[in-house]
Amino acid sequence: MIAKQCPDIDVKVVDINPTRIAQWNSRELPVYEPGLYEIVADRRGKNLHFSTEVDQAISAADMVFISVNTPTKTFGTGAGKAANLEYVEKCARQIARVSTGHKIVVEKSTLPVRTAEAVKTILSNTGDGATFDVLSNPEFLAEGTAIDDLLNPDRVLIGGENPTAIHALVEVYARWIPREKLLTTNLWSSELSKLTANAFLAQRVSSINAISALCEVTEADVDEVAAAIGTDSRIGPKFLRASVGFGGSCFQKDILNLVYLCEYFGLPEVAAYWEQVVKMNDYQKRRFVQRIVRTLFNTVSDKKIAVWGFAFKKDTNDTRESAAIYICRDLLEERAKITIYDPKVSEAQIRHELELVMQGPDGRLSPVSERLLAENLHVAASAESAAHQAHAIAVLTEWDEFKTANFSAIYDQMHKPAFVFDGRNLLKKNQLSQFGFQYQGIGVSG
């Protein structure tokens, strides 16, 4: 977006992974995002360059954005919760090693509060006379809507200490974003705001999902409840869609990171409060499978279930922490035969995700899991073919194309009674009932 909006700024994207860089330089970008290819194709070779020459790019730059991943630690202190800052630290050391003169270093990765302290210390102790300012500029874009979010953000947050450095970054964004949307804060507020924003958003989904469970046993309808509370402008209508559970690479990781920070700073009650958001999400995924099993006469063993959608939401090929992974695993463990269709996710990616989540602690698949993956898991090339001879359809991602499926033809080729479990409340109950389907949405009894 900077390359697009500021033709006079030279943007170099560098990565140590040559395969990734080759993809960025090709027609098949490594991520699917509506509108992204057009922008890359327009600026590539002009003021946008992708390369593996990291040192050269750093030494030529006035401003360096650190945008590496910060996965959850899988080992040692804080395993399962704290962020692994290994890659951020390596970046800081590399920047320090090759820099001369003065540079502004911008934290773009999502980081725990006070990481900038570590980055500053590394930069000021390892460098060769170079000087640095550190800014925090967290990314708020969501996948699937990334281009629009970057073009018209609700706000851009820039945290820092030196007003001159803050001003330099403000001037970049001010080329296309109104100044009142450029918020400047101290470093620590900026770092903490990112984790807090994700925790609040995820909390809304877990709150409405908690209410969905209550709706199912009281004949209330969760969509009606969401609409009713969403009209209170203090609550607002966004991010209140009940679902099979939130997924994606950010929410769970960032909340657990927040939980870890609270524990670290001796605030166990605050940690437990936020951890509950994640627990509610796990409950929602489990509950969806239990409802399918109960409705299909208490057994899905040897029954065929069509799974529509595997990505963590529509308009992305990202499957990280997708609710579909856990739901498919649980269905396989119930011995169901599942056939998955997703318009953007490959069979290899689906199998890889399920293998990871079915492995034992030793990193191996048990013979039973291996057999279930080989014999009970299939991937189809269309929503309709996935439903062929199925007992039920489970909608797990809200892809638009599912709304216009040929339900009459699909109904004809399914076992009867033919069930639809709509984990996204995407389809219309009345319409499906007319074709003969038994329909169950999230947060609606019946």
Q: Which residues bind ligand UGA (CB under 6 A)?
A: 110, 139-143, 198, 201, 205, 239-241, 243, 246-248, 250-251, 312-313
Contact indicator for 151, 1 with CB cutoff of 8 Å:
yes
Q: Least CB distance from residue 140 to ligand UGA, whole Å? A: 4
Which residue is associated with the tokens 């001879």? 389
Of 49 and 194, which has the nearer Cβ to ligand UGA? 194
Q: Which is nearer to ligand UGA, 82 or 300 (CB)?
A: 82
Question: Smallest distance from the beta carbon of 226 to ligand UGA, in angstroms?
Answer: 8
Is 250 an annotated catalytic residue? Answer: yes
Q: Pull the structure tokens for residue 29.
A: 């970008």
Q: Distance between CA 308 and CA 37 in Å, rounded? A: 26
Query: Residue 81: is it exposed, middle or buried by C-beta count within 10 angstroms (0-12/13-18/19+)?
Result: buried
Helix (H) or strand (E) holding 376: none
Q: Given phi > 0 = left and psi -120 to 50 = alpha, else beta, which region is 42?
A: alpha
Rounded to the nearest 5°, which phi and psi values hold at 163?
-60, -30
Spot the catalytic one: 215, 250, 262, 328: 250
How far apart are CB 141 and ligand UGA at their closest, in Å? 5
Helices (H), 134-267: 146-151, 163-173, 187-216, 222-230, 251-264
Give dist(CA 231, CA 293) in Å, integer.
Answer: 35
Q: CB-wise, 237 or 268, nearer to ligand UGA?
A: 237
Nearest approach, Cβ of 238 to ligand UGA (angstroms)? Answer: 7
CB atoms within 10 A of CB 330: 19
Dist. CA 230–CA 241, nearest whole Å: 10
Q: Which is nearer to ligand UGA, 312 or 402 (CB)?
A: 312
Q: Are 187 and 159 in contact (CB under 8 A)?
A: yes
Q: Pairing relation of β-strands 337-341 and 377-379?
A: parallel
Question: In this complex, which beta carbon is closest to ligand UGA, that of residue 313 or of residue 329?
Answer: 313
Tell me which residue of 296, 290, 258, 294 sits closest to 274, measured CA to CA: 258
Question: Nearest distance from residue 417's CB to ligand UGA, in Å?
Answer: 28
Residue 241 or 304: which CB sits closer to ligand UGA? 241
Burial 338-357 (b: 16+ CB within 10 A, else e): bbbbbbbbeeebbeebbeee
- Shorter beta-carbon distance to ligand UGA: residue 133 or 330: 330
Residue 70 CB, shortest distance to ligand UGA, in Å, is 10
Residue 146: other Cβ atoms inside 10 A: 19
CB of 29 to ligand UGA, least distance (A): 17
Handedness of CA 290, 144, 221, 276 (dihedral sign): positive
Q: Which residues are catalytic?
A: 250
